[in-house]
């Protein structure tokens, strides 16, 4: 067996060729894993850690957005930054510095991404590592070779779904129906409705669809160009990454205002040798991003602007300029837009989104990022064998500002005679272009970080080795106009023992400090311990040809954290003055000073208490398998114990550590590699079940079914619907019949939603809310397949979730609920078409329409709940690599071309609801072609 730890070996003299390679699924046993502060061979790591190396998958999956690259690739990772279902995002560490954004990187400049999952793996990151850690390491130069890579990618993106609102006539007809349901007169006459429905003049009787091809493009383009250069000598190595990205705007109206987004980045990493025992590195990053838009957000405005109010453009050809000199003069003095004037209305002259897009100017948001790192490495082996030291200092500067041109313009309200405009009422301001580009600072953030480390790595005799690290870390972030900076500081100690390369013991800990806690409680020790046993190194296993590698592991520990402590001085007594006063005979009154928050000198850290058991294995030289079972308690969460004391004590109530949430589950991943003749196949899959439970909660409900304790943390609470009220539920005077529970949310009629009275008290109110679903999927899974034949390869990645629900009002990425929760003067979407009426009582899927606020129908309930499970073909790419004989003839190392797509196909029961985003950028499907060349 040539390599029991999975590296492919092409040397036939070494024995049987191993098929399994270190690829996108997971780095294998002998690979070096970057843990942020230190590096270790995977087989020497005790904690639960997964890692990928972008260079291994970019050849066949050219996704440069790092978050997208993480989807479905790492066991235990849900989405791009959630580890094991914890309530919060993982901490991002870039080149050893916590708190940096992963969105500032492209995949090409990354050497490795490592996900640290259990307490033992994250302990060295102190309080900030409570939700897990994602470590990103950028590329360095090499003295062994010089390289230059160029990647060019061009593509188009097209909206998958756009909001669908009713046209003018349908809206007017149904709004009349809503008013009649409320006992009010119609707002529109039948003649008006007929004019809008049957007219051939869309300017007199407008029917404006903001999401039509008249205002939005069918698709928009994007371009991505990257170049990287690396090399060096024995004493100095360098790496440079240059990038440009452009994304076009979906709005088609004004070329000046719709430039879209642009991003420029440059990275330079330099390593150099000072002398025989000191080396250093210097990294500099600069990123400039800009997003240019019109003065009006058409995608947002389109959710509220009704289609019949006024025509946004008035063609000059319809204006009676030949017989009316006044009109002729107005037209000559006005600005034209494609042969039209800007339309408007007296009642809505301050709300003209199309005019704002065309004539209002633009706004451009610009962000600038500068990052500087410097490390100094000391080889102290002359002091003690195996001893080394490192210092690392970093500076980040984030600046955002806005540029704007604010033009003024006139709009015109027409007077019609048949199909001719016979008068114009000019509204708004004079037509005047702003000659000044206005600048406004939006924010400025600075960050300073430092850590120093002593490391000891010693082989003792033949079978024993020790490794220990002592780290001192500090990180400060300063925000403009914020007096209190964010400060993090801790000391970490890691010590590990390795016996005969098969028994591993690790102790990792941190001594954390937080200024959010009272003096005396600010420092706390966070210990963790892990044990691993490489069973495949034992003689009775080593001879098994089918088992190449097997490691069992277990870990436990406590992480003290202040991430859940949202403010400073929560432990202090706070006084406030109320707005009331005491009246006296002289007519004067004084404000009262009262205690608003009690003092708690025992206020302390929240704690993550963690247990992890798992294994990883290589079987038959072809199959990589890993599995972990975990339980994570987030204990001593901050709350006010309002239910532990009498109500008259409320003003004196301090914040305390009390609540306990539990997360537990199993994660499983595998990758199988095999040759079928000349076809190489790599097939991988990952599955995670992660459940949550509220174990201890300060609460007191009259009915036990409302207790949050014993329910998932991500539970939806709402009413249980019983369909619609029917006509025979009411007496002739409109009152509910005897025995029908009375809703507490206002009067109801036939066609309103009826709810279950859970406690049988005869009233439907908030006390009848129950657990109706959950918004986070307990099951997440993915699968990837790659088939390679000679120079041609096909890659497909699928991701899925099951077990979660969503509420129609809570659109996945935007809370513009009037698309579904339609009442009052809201704009009507197509969902109201199947509303309740006496004729559709048996088939209706939407409650009766109302022109007034309806508090009964539009609240969280099972009526609006839908299954959010899905499976999506996330990405696919077909790549052709030119033969090496051709490439070498032109003095190049590699050339490949590809076609790719992402967000391609989704299978879901409620796909239409899932894919619709309201009020902002839609969900896109992407197609691209590209070239990758290596010199």
At a CB cut-off of 8 Å and minimum separation 6, what does 59 contact?
A: 879, 881, 896, 932
Q: Which range is least confidently modeled, 63-77, 246-260, 535-549? A: 246-260
pLDDT band (50, 70, 90) for residue 481: confident
- Strand 589-597 and strand 220-232: pairing? unpaired
Q: Which two tokens stand for residue 370?
A: 């500068």
Q: Do 272 and 134 sit in the same domain of this protein?
A: no
pLDDT of residue 398: 96
**pTM, full prediction:** 0.92
Helix (H) or strand (E) holding 473: strand 464-479
List the domain range (segments joined by +) for residue 333.
233-368+389-439
Those residues whose C-beta lies under 8 Å from the C-beta of residue 275, and which sit 6 or more positions away, are none
Quick one: average pLDDT of 680-687?
97
Whether residues 118 and 244 fall in one domain: no
Q: Among 278-282, 358-362, 777-781, which is the least confidently predicted range?
A: 358-362
Query: Do both 130 and 271 map to the same domain?
Result: no
Task: Determine how many CB atoms are found less than 10 A away from the CB of residue 760.
Answer: 9
Residue 343, pLDDT score: 95
Q: What angle do CA 334, 340, 343 make, to 5 degrees?
A: 80
Q: What is the pLDDT of residues 690-741, one digit of tens each?
A: 999 999 999 999 999 999 999 999 999 999 999 999 999 999 999 999 999 9
Return d(Cα 30, Cα 50) in angstroms, integer: 13
Residue 117 and residue 244 in one domain:
no
Q: Let me know how long the chain is.
A: 935
Residue 61 lies in a domain: yes
The answer as to whether 514 is a domain residue is no
Report pLDDT for 789.
96
Q: Residue 6: inside a domain, yes or no?
A: no
**Based on the structure, what is the number of domains in the chain?**
2
Mean pLDDT for the stretch of residues 444-472: 95
How far apart CA 29 and CA 46 sit, in angstroms, is: 12
CATH code for the domain in which residue 134 is found: 2.170.130.10
Whether 324 shows a pLDDT value over 80: the answer reads yes
> Which of these ranges, 184-193, 483-492, 699-708, has the smallest mean pLDDT?
483-492
In-domain check, residue 100: yes
Q: What percent of the chain has pLDDT over 70?
A: 94
Where is pLDDT greater, at 261 or 809? 261
Residue 540 forms part of a structural domain:
no
pLDDT at 267 > cutoff 90? yes
Give helix then strand counts, H and E, for the chain: 11, 45
| 348 within some domain | yes
Q: Are residues 276 and 401 in the same domain?
A: yes
What are the pLDDT digits (tens) for 125-169? 999 999 999 999 999 999 888 999 999 999 999 999 999 999 999
The tokens 């609102």 sit on which residue?
165
Q: 734's torsion region: left (phi>0), alpha (psi -120 to 50) or beta?
A: left
pLDDT at position 385: 94
Q: 104, 139, 174 — which closes off a domain?
A: 139
User: What CA–CA distance (Å, rounded) separates 27 from 10?
Assistant: 19
pLDDT for 8? 38
| Residue where one domain finishes, among candidates 139, 167, 195 | 139
- Mean pLDDT value across the chain: 92
Last residue of a domain, one of 115, 139, 163: 139
Nearest to 327 by CA among 203, 413, 204, 422: 422
295, 424: one domain: yes
Would the pLDDT of 569 be above 50? yes
Contact 231, 72 (CB under 8 A): no
Rounded average pLDDT over 41-58: 94
How confident is the model over 170-186, as a mean pLDDT? 97
| Whether 100 and 238 share a structural domain | no
Distances (CA, A) of 600 to 311, 518, 520, 562, 660: 63, 8, 12, 16, 19
pLDDT tens digits, 804-854: 999 998 454 444 558 999 989 999 999 999 999 999 999 999 999 999 999
Question: Minimal CA–CA distance to 473: which of 391, 396, 554?
Answer: 391
Structural domain contains residue 905: no
- pLDDT at residue 926, rounded to an integer: 98
Is 900's pLDDT higher than 60? Answer: yes
Share of the chain above pLDDT 90, in %: 84
Residue 581 has what pLDDT?
Answer: 56
**pLDDT recorded at residue 31:** 85
Are residue 292 and residue 434 in the same domain, yes or no? yes
Assigned domain for 277 exists:
yes
């Amino acid at each position: 067996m040539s390599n029991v730890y999975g590296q492919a070996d092409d040397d036939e003299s070494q024995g049987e060729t191993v098929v399994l390679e270190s690829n996108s699924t997971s780095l294998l046993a002998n690979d070096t894993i970057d843990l942020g502060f230190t590096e270790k061979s995977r087989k020497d790591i005790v904690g639960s850690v997964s890692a990928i190396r972008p260079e291994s998958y970019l050849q066949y999956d050219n996704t440069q957005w790092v978050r997208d690259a993480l989807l479905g690739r790492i066991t235990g990772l849900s989405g791009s930054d959630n580890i094991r279902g914890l309530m919060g995002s993982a901490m991002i560490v870039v080149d050893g510095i916590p708190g940096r954004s992963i969105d500032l990187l492209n995949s090409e400049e990354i050497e490795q991404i490592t996900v640290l999952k259990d307490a033992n793996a994250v302990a060295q990151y102190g309080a900030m590592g409570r939700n897990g850690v994602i470590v990103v390491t950028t590329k360095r130069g090499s003295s062994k070779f010089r390289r230059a890579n160029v990647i060019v990618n061009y593509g188009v993106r097209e909206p998958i779904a756009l909001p669908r609102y009713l046209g003018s006539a349908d809206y007017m007809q149904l709004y009349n129906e809503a008013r009649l349901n409320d006992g009010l007169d119609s707002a529109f006459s039948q003649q008006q409705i007929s004019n809008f429905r049957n007219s051939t003049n869309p300017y007199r009787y407008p029917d404006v669809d903001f999401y039509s091809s008249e205002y939005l493009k069918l698709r928009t383009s994007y371009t991505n160009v990257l170049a990287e250069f690396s090399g060096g000598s024995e004493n100095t190595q360098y790496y440079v990454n240059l990038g440009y990205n452009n994304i076009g705007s979906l709005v088609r109206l004004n070329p000046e205002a719709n430039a879209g987004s642009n991003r420029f980045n440059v990275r330079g990493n330099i390593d150099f040798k000072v002398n025989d025992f000191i080396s250093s590195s210097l990294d500099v990053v600069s990123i400039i991003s800009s997003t240019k838009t019109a003065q009006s957000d058409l995608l947002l405005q389109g959710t509220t602007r009704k289609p019949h109010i006024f025509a946004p453009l008035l063609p000059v050809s319809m204006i009676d300029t030949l017989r009316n000199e006044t009109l002729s003069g107005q037209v000559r003095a006005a600005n034209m837009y494609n042969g039209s004037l800007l339309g408007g209305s007296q009642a809505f002259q301050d709300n003209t989104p199309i005019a704002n897009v065309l004539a209002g100017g633009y706004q451009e948001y610009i962000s600038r990022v500068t990052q500087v790192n410097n490390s100094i490495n000391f080889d102290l082996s002359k002091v003690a064998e195996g001893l080394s030291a490192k210092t690392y200092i970093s500076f980040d500067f984030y600046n955002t500002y806005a540029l704007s041109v604010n033009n003024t313009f006139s709009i015109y309200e027409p007077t019609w005679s048949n199909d001719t405009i016979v008068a114009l009422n000019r509204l708004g301001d004079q037509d005047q272009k702003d000659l000044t580009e206005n600048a406004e600072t939006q924010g400025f953030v600075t960050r300073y970080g430092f850590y120093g480390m002593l490391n000891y790595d010693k082989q003792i005799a033949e079978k024993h080795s020790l490794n220990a690290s002592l780290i001192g870390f500090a990180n400060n972030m300063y925000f403009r106009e914020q007096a209190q900076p964010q400060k993090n500081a801790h000391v970490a100690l890691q010590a590990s023992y390795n016996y005969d390369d098969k028994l591993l013991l690790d102790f990792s800990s941190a001594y954390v400090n937080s200024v959010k806690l009272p003096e005396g409680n600010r420092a706390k020790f966070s210990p963790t311990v892990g044990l691993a046993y490489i069973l495949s190194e034992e003689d009775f296993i080593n001879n098994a040809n089918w088992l190449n590698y097997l490691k069992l592991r277990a870990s436990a520990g406590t992480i003290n954290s202040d991430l859940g402590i949202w403010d400073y001085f929560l432990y202090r007594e706070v006084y406030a003055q109320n707005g009331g006063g005491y009246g006296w005979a002289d007519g004067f009154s004084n404000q009262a000073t009262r205690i608003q928050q009690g003092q708690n000198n025992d206020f302390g850290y929240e704690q993550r208490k963690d247990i992890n058991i798992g294994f990883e294995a290589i079987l038959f030289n072809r199959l990589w398998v890993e599995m972990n079972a975990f339980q994570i308690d987030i204990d001593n969460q901050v709350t006010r114990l309002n239910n532990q004391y009498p109500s008259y004590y409320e003003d004196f109530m301090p914040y305390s550590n009390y609540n306990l949430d539990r997360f537990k589950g199993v994660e499983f991943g595998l990758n199988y590699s095999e040759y079928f003749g000349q076809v190489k196949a790599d097939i991988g899959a990952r599955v995670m079940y992660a459940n949550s439970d509220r174990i201890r909660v300060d609460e007191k409900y009259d009915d036990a079914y409302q207790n949050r304790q014993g329910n998932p943390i991500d539970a939806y609470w709402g009413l249980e619907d019983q369909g619609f009220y029917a006509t025979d539920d009411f007496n002739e005077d409109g009152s509910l019949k005897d025995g029908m529970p009375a809703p507490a949310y206002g009067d109801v009629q036939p066609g309103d939603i009826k709810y279950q009275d859970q406690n049988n008290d005869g009233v439907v109110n908030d006390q009848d809310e129950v657990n109706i679903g959950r918004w986070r999927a307990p099951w997440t899974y993915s699968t990837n397949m790659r088939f390679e034949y000679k120079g041609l390869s096909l890659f497909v990645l699928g991701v899925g979730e099951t077990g979660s629900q969503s509420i129609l009002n809570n659109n996945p990425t935007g809370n513009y609920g009037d698309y579904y929760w339609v009442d009052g003067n809201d704009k009507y979407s197509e969902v109201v078409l199947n509303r309740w009426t006496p004729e559709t009582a048996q088939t209706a899927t939407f409650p009766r329409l109302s022109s007034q606020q309806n508090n009964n129908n539009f609240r969280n309930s099972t009526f609006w709940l839908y299954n959010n499970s899905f499976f999506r073909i996330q990405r696919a790419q077909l790549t052709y690599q030119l033969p090496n004989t051709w490439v070498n003839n032109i003095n190049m190392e590699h050339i490949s071309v590809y076609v790719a797509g992402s967000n391609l196909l989704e299978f879901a029961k409620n796909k239409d609801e899932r894919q619709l985003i309201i009020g902002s950028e839609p969900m896109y499907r992407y197609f691209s072609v590209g070239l990758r060349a290596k010199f």
